[in-house]
Every structure is written in C-alpha cells, then in structure tokens.
Structure 1
Amino acid sequence: MSTSQEAQKVDVLVIGAGPTGLGAATRLDQLKSNYLLVDSYDVAGGLAGTDLTEEGFYFDYGGHVIFSHYAYFDDAIHRALPNDDDWYTHRRVSYVRKVGAWVPYPYQNNVSALPVELQVEAIEGLIEASEQRAATPTIKPQNFEEWILRNLGKGIADQFMMNYNFKVWGVPPREMQCKWLGERVSAPSLKLVIKNALVKNSADSNWGPNATFKFPARGGTGAIWKACASHLSPERQRYGAEQGKIEEIHPTRKTVVMADGRQIRYNKLVSTLNVDQLLRLMKHGLEVEKNEDAEKRVKAVEEMQGAVEKGLKFSNTIVLGLGIRGSLPPRIGDKCWLYFPEDDAPFYRATIFSNYAPENCPTASVRLKTIQHADPTIAVQNADEAKEGPYWSLMLEVCQSEQKPVDMDTILAETIKGALATELIKPEDEIVSTYLRRFEYGYPTPSLGRDAALAQVLPRLKEEFGIWSRGRFGSWKYEVGNQDHSFMLGVEAVDSALYGSPEMTLNEPDWVNGRRNVERRLL
C-alpha cells in the first residue's frame, strides 16, 4: 500500500451507490456524520439504473417498480422527485402466458382462464394437496419443490411453477429453500380457486404488495437514484473507475486504497459489494500488509470465502429491449408485466415498458430507420428511410446460470422469435431499436445452503472487522431485495454501526414485510 499521501479520514465509508449505499448515505447525511460514498460507476443507481439507446428508448436494468413497506423510504423518494408530475401510479395488470391463453396473475388463483381439462388438473392437485396437508399437519417442506407440491399440488406444479421457476432462477426448485417465500408466492385458497373457476369472468388479481405501484415519469428507475444522490453533499461522493473504485481493503488498518492511489481511513465500513468480491478485496489487502496479525486474519477471511463458495449461489440476468414503431396494439392494452413458463420463449418475463411512462419512448415526431421486421424474413423496404412514430417498447428478461446456459450471440434473435411465438409482437412489426445487456449478478438464489453461509459470514464481518455487508448481494437475501428493502438495509446498517440498533429488515424479513414500518422518518 502506498504511503506517499496522507489518507482521508471518515467515520463511515460506504461502498456502492445503489439503493443500499444511498440509503446509508442518506441516513448519514441526515445525522450530519463524517462519511464518504464511493462507486466505480459514473452515476448513482447500481442495479437499479437505466440505459438510453441511441434511438431514444429507455430500458431499466430489469423489472423495477416502486412499492414500499417503509415511511422513511417514501420520504426519501418523494424528496428526490417531489412533484405530482414526476410519477405515474399504476394498477398492476399482469398475466401468465399458458397454452395460448392469458391467465391473470397469480396463476394459482386464476386457473379459471385455462381450458377445462387444465382447470380440472389444477383443482384436483389443489384438493389432493389440501388432503395431504390435513393428513400430515406436522410435516414441513424442506425445499421449494416440496413447498410447491404441498401447497399448490401436482397440477399447478407441472403446468406453471416448476418450469417457470427454473427459467427465473436457473436452478431446479428442489435446490432452493422455502423460508424466503413470504409475500413472494401466493398460497391460494381452495375455496377461492373453485369459486373463480365456477363463476364466469371472475378473477383474483389484486394479491401481493405490488398490486399498485409507482414509476418515474422521466428517465426510468435510474432517475430516482440520481435524484436521491443529488440531495447528498457533493463533496461526500466519488464516482468513476479511478476515484470511486476500490482496489484494496486493509481491514486491520481500516483503510482502503482507491484506483487512483488515494487512501481512505474509516472507523466503520458499510459495503454493498457482492460479498464474495468484498472478501477477495479483504484477502488481497491482508496479504499486502504482510504482518503477523494480517496473516491470522487471512485465515478468517479464507474460512468465510469457503462458506460463501459452498452455500451462496446466484444467476446472471440478461435484459433485452425492443423499440417498435406503431401504436400500442389492443392485444397488449394496459398490461404491465407478463410471465412465460413455456419453452416457446427464452425470457421468463416481459414488461410493456412504454406503459410505465410514455417518456420511455421517443416522441412520435422523431424519425427513425427500421432495423428489421419482427419476422426477419420480411424484407425492409427503403431501409435508409427514417420515418416518424408513434412508438412503444418491450423489455424482456432472461436468466443465465451454470445449469441454464445462454448463447449471447443468438439470444436477441431468439428473444424476438419468442416474442413472435407468444404474440407479443406480429411478423410485420417494425423494430427500430434494440437493447442487450448482461448483468453478471442478477438474482441472489435462496439456495439450500444460503442461511448457514450467511450466518458464518455476516456476523463475523461485523464483529471481527467492523464491516456491515448489506444489499442485494451484500447480504444475499432475495426476500428483502426490492428497492425499498435495499434502501432500508443501508439505513439500518448505519443505525446499527453508530448506535447498535437492531437491523429488522436483514434479520426479520417476515416482520417488516407484514406491516407498515414508521419507526424512522426522513422528512
């Protein structure tokens, strides 16, 4: 480690300016603490960012919408975007594509939309599962597959849950735990399912915390977090590959070295790095130090690395976008996002991104060339001619994992083909913009070994090293990985570091998800 310049000293260093890091920085700013926020990206937002294509279409880094369990989070985002015209509020209109039909979400509550033979199969499975639970009340499912079969039955498992969840997670449900489920997966009422099947045009589509949601009017989800960062002290933020990127973490000296050689000394560290990346940087820093204490600490880090390697799994997310010329077709209507369990499309979810905010597309007066028709065998006439809109857009998500490989060279063409097969687009539709970006860390998998690994790593980082590893991949808990959760993980980490306060979001997910949390306020 270079000693050519004096290290900057802060009470709390926050690594990463995604929602968790911004939550930590917002709380530190509110408390008027001496802190610094650093991020190797050029702008704030992290995995909750947004890209803009050359043609003027916005696409988020995945399916992000705003709903909240916390008053503090509401205060923060409304301070960031305070005007009524900064937001659109939507009622969720979501479906599952199955055998050519659109089944209202959640699927297990709305099998009435299926052909009669599939309805019978689903209801028989639900009845059998109900009888099995009644006969064996003390048996608890040991993995997600067992939970699906015990709560939803074989019919719904075969029709939807098994294949869909493999498409999302990239691992079979039997390799996932079921403690994470909570508000994430609906366990249906048998009476409700049968009623919906018998009563024509009856559907249950209001389940879940995101039955209504908000979305920014301009700039996509990333606009929220850029605005949130703008309310923090500029001198307490550093961004970019040189000023914001960490090269070494020296945990015994409580010092980090940045890519530009500058050093920062801290008392407490809140890290939103992927926990495996954090441990690699710590080990590297300890090896550089080359002293007896550091050598002892290397062993501790190696033990934590072993726990992470054994117990933590993740999948990559590939986000694709299509900008399309024309008016939004009636078959799409007011749909928000759609689920695809079948093998005729590589994506597990499609979002009608132009429905979230008209400003996600260029205005109709913008003239754009046609790249291709949705059916690539249809020749583009006058390919060099730029024509006016209107425009609409689709955003699609594909999982990539060791057990679910994806060919990056062909995935765009396969996605367009899948959108055709599922009638999201028609053969003659004119595609005027495409987007493709792969995020190596997309979903933190609720694997069978996750909780044991986290129990070996997170408390030890905090107690032995003064490091709070938090966030979507910092604390690796998908059930508290939404934007509101992630933000509050940072807020609560700061209160824990400074005051010893309990971190309820990290440690009691069911508790925070089952109530309105008003203990902290920003405004």
Structure 2
Amino acid sequence: MTQVNDRPDTIHVETLVIGAGPTGLGAATRLDQLGRPFLIVDASPTPGGLASTDITDEGFYFDVGGHVIFSHYAYFDDAIDRALPNEDDWKTHERVSYVRSAGRWVTYPYQNNVSQLPLDLRVKCIDGLLAAAEERTRTPHVKPVTFDEWIVRNMGEGIADAFMRPYNFKVWGLQTTKMQCKWLGERVAAPNVRVAVRNALTMQTAPSWGPNATFRFPTRDGTGGIWTAVASKLPTKNFRLGREGSVDTVDAEKKTVIFADGRKVKYEHLVSSMALDGFLERLDGGADGKATVEKMKVAANEGLVYSNTIIIGIGIRGERPERIGDKCWLYFPEDDAPFYRATIFSNYSPYNVPSTEAKLPTLQKADPSLPFDKEAKSGPYWSLMMEVCQSDDKPVDLESLVKETIKGAVATELMLPGDEIVSLYERRFDHGYPTPSLGRDAALEQILPVLKDKFGIHSRGRFGSWRYEAGNQDHSFMLGVEAVDNALFGTPEMTLFETDWVNGRRNTERRLK
C-alpha cells in the first residue's frame, strides 16, 4: 500500500485518521509504531483538539479546559514521556482542591468533608447521609437509574441540595433527573458515612480521593504542548491540517473521504474522532446504506446530548495572594458566579504567565468602577482560568459573560476589587462535554456497532464515541490505539467497552518502547 501527499486529486492510504487530538494521535502513534501507512487529517492548523492551549497577546497561556495528566496506561505514559523526555519538561503536583459553599472553602471531596460547613448545613448533610444509609439497608436490591436517584441514595438530600444538584447542573447544563448514573465509576466519590460523621464531630479533614490526587503538568506550552510534541514524533508527510484536512463528505460505499478543497482520499480503514453527530451529517452510505444512515441520525438527534464550554482567562498583576496559596482547581455550585470551576493556572507552571520583567498596561481593576493607572508596568503575574457551561437548558448571555465572570471572582474571593487585570481571554467550544443523558447508551448502541460492522468505520474519542467516562486524555489516546489494533488485528477495545475494568488497574499489555 502506497501513500503520497503531494496534492494529487486522489490518494490511497491503508488507514485514514480523522482528527489530530489525543484520539487521532493515539491511532497515528500506533500505526507509526507498527510501520503501517496512514494519513491523519484535521481542520485545525495545529494538533491537540480539545486538549490544545492558547496564548494571549500579553503572554498568558490558557488551556481549552481543565486538563491535567494522570494515567491508567503504560503505553500512554511511554508516548508522552517520549514526547517530553526531560525531567524539567514536567511539574508534578499534589491536588489541592476545594468547593466554595456557604462562603467557605470546603475540601474536596465535599461529601467527605461536611465538617467544614456551618453548623446548620452540616446537620442537614449528616442527617441526609444517615437517612440515605438507612434507606439502602431497607432496600438493598434497589438500583438507581438516574443520576439524581444515585445522589440521594448515596449522599442524601442535604448534600444533594447543597452541592451535587446545583453543581452538576452548572457543569452539564442538564438536571440530574435527566442524566443516567452508569458513567460514574471513579468520577464521583461515594461517601463513607462513618468517616463523614466522625469528621463532623472531630472537625477533621478527609484525605484526597480519586485518580488525579497527584498529577503532572507540562512545564512549558500548556497541555497543548504535550500534543504538539507527540505529533512531532510522527512523520510530517503523514499530516494534512487546516483547510486541506477539513472533511466535507465521507462516502462509506466507496471508502472515500472528500475534503473541502476537493481532493479525495481512498482508505481501507477509517478511524474518526470527529464529533459523532457532525460525522453522521457528513456520512454518505450509498444506495444500500442510505436508510441506515438516516436511522443513525435519528438516534443521535434523540439520544445524544452535549453542552458547550466557554473558557474565560484572567491575567492579574501582583504576587499570588496568600488566600490563593497552592490551590489547583476549585468548584462553584452556587449562583454567585457563572463558572462551575476555576483553575489557578499560574500554579501549574511559572511559564503559564509572562516573566516578571514584562511590562503590561492595566486593562481595568477587578471592580471596574475603581480608577487605575494605564501606564505599562512590570509584574509579577498570576492567572485564573474559569469554565462556563452553555446548553439548551442553561443559556448564557455571551455579551456580559466576561463582566459577570470577573464579578463572580470578586464575590467568591478569588480576586479582590483592587486587583489589576492585565489580560482577558475568552473562547467558546461548540462541543465541550458529551452528556451521559438517559438516552445516550440506547443511541450509541444504534450507531457505533453499525458504523463499525456495516461501514468499517471506528468512531472513537471524547465525542467520537460520546462516553464521558472514557474521555480523559489517557482514555482518548488509547481509544485511538485500540481502534487501530481492532481494525487491523481484531483485538478487543477494552477502554471503550470495559471502562471500569480499565480504570481499576494499571494497563501494561501494550508498550511503545
């Protein structure tokens, strides 16, 4: 099988990979390791997808979401360590995370640290925990169906109302009663009632929980720097990015992809990380597959739900405040701020902000009514990165969002009124979170197997396979790796179909070394 990339009208390739985010780069890395011919395409001019990083004119770096590196796979570690091999390429952090609740910083996970709440709210939460434990004892065979049922059954009404319901609506833009609970796995900590009660009495703090209690972050260039480095280990001639990589039509019958510039690529195997709903709109099933494609579109329209993500970055002059300290990311369930999460992005790496010597003018004070000196001055600098959800059920006033975000940062004591803002960043992503809605799994069962079995297409990735629980960077990368092995050798795809099993162990079956 031959492959060329010198602008002929049609080229032939064994495997075509659509998307140069973590999933596409995982597929390409595996194909390169196996010595198999491939082409990877993306409408974006640079690799990284939803794990990319932007830099403002002032020199502040902001990821396109709250990304950190923790891993279940030796192969994934091999890939990123090969890309960034030096000790000073990485910073390692212990997670310091809090929930802003009732005017206090409550240590995450909230459900194990209600001891830090005001007494009246603490009593409601503990009473709810005990009532939930009694209900589980009375009805041991009852299995929750919705996320809301899971919350109440495991945490009780107190924690549900104080944190879980409002926070998750701010994240997903969908009420917890409309979400399923099969996706939870290691994503949400079920509370230990004995520990929660003991801590509430002794006023102690529960330890960190979860796979990201310790995490890595690249020293330079943000999360996007990981993926540009991973891409740099692959042959340049195997990439087609920008307009040349923008997919117009996928002709499944002829196994041909037509691009926006009119050129075509014929393939034997197709791995796509394009958002599943958008991919189906571009899919031409031919005469025999037309009805099948229409059925898949209906299933996607009825069962696949997503939210948009808006990132707001704020660059601030001054030493990092003592009240901020070494905090990593923070959760905001209440309505005094539009964002559901804030990251102290300058804490991840000193290179995420300009050098102290850089002279920048002040754009405004955090309280915009306060006067300020417009003359450019030197630093030091620190930065905040906020995430806001937008959905059909949760509209956002985009024109006032930055202003409301700054106002919320002051209301929650992330900033003080007199703080000098020197940089503002805003970016909206049409697909931010693939929502685990009640109809998701039924829709996916009508789409993913059909794409693979009838059309020979592996749709994988955060939005390619639409399973949030298999959507971290390590999962996404390995979805691409495993899709290639399945397409070429019939190897089972464990990350997609056995996510809980994968997350419960260290996966060392594949190595890149």
Q: Compute the TM-score of the two structures, normalised by the length of structure 2.
A: 0.98
2:303 aligned with 1:303: no
Match of 1:512 among 462, 483, 502: 502
The whole-number CA distance in structure 2 between the counterparts of 1:11 and 1:193 is 56
The aligned counterpart of 2:282 is 281
Residue of structure 2 in register with 1:230 after alignment:
232
Q: 1:26 aligns with which of 1, 24, 29?
A: 29
Q: Which amino acid aligns with 1:502?
A: P
SS in 2 for 1:392: strand
In structure 1, list runs of 5 or more residues that go unmatched. Answer: 287-293
Matched, 1:436 2:430: no
Query: Take 2:502 and 2:190, find their aligned partners in 1: how far apart are those partners?
Result: 19
Residue 347 of structure 2: which of 331, 349, 355 is its match? Answer: 355
Partner of 1:319: 311
Structure 2 residue 463 is the aligned partner of structure 1 residue 461: no
1:290 corresponds to which residue?
Answer: none
Partners of 2:404 and 2:198 lie apart in 1 by: 39
d(CA) in 2 for partners of 1:6 and 1:105?
A: 55
Residue in 2 aligned with 1:130? 133
AA paired with 2:363?
A: I
Distance 1:265 1:334, change over 3 A: same
Establish whether residue 346 from structure 1 lines up as the match of residue 348 from structure 2.
Answer: no
2:396 alignment partner in structure 1? 406
CA shift for structure 1 position 117: 1.3
Gaps of 5+ in 2: 1-6
CA–CA distance in structure 2, aligned partners of residues 115 and 5 of structure 1: 69
Instruction: Choose 353-362 or 232-241, whichever is displaced more.
Output: 232-241
| Alignment partner, residue 3 of structure 2 | none
Alignment of 1:39-438 (within 5 A): 39-200=42-203, 202-241=204-243, 243-283=244-284, 286=285, 294-381=286-373, 383=374, 385-438=375-428
Q: Deviations over 1:469-519 (max 9, x none)?
A: 000000000001000000000000000000000000000111001111111
The residue identity in structure 1 corresponding to 2:230 is C
Cross-structure match for 1:8 = 11
Aligned partner of residue 367 in structure 1, secondary structure: coil
Choose which of 26, 38, 43 in structure 2 pairs with 1:35. Answer: 38
Aligned residues: 507
Runs (4+) of structure 1 moved beyond 3 Å?
Answer: none
Identity %: 63
2:12, 2:266 within 8 Å by CA — same for their partners in 1?
yes
Q: Deviations over 1:438-485 (max 9, x none)?
A: 000000000001001101100000000010000000000000100000
Amino acid at match of 1:393: S
Matched residues in 2 for 1:387 and 1:258: separation? 48
CA distance in 2 between counterparts of 1:204 and 1:93 reads 13
Contact 2:256 2:267 in 1 (8 A): yes
Q: Distance in 1 between matches of 2:472 and 2:448?
A: 20
CA contact (8 A) 2:9 2:262 kept: no
Q: Structure 2 vs 1, CA of residues 461 and 414 (structure 1 numbering), >3 Å: closer, same or farther?
A: same
Aligned CA-pair RMSD: 0.9
Report the AA paired with residue 30 of structure 2. R
Letter in 1 for 2:189: S
Amino acid at match of 1:413: K
What letter corresponds to residue 458 of structure 2 in structure 1? W
**Corresponding residue number in structure 1 for 2:473:** 483
Amino acid of the structure 2 residue aligned with 1:480: A
Deviations 1:119-146 (A, max 9, x none): 1111110000000000001111110000
Query: Within 2, Cα distance between the matches of 1:5 and 1:336?
Result: 49
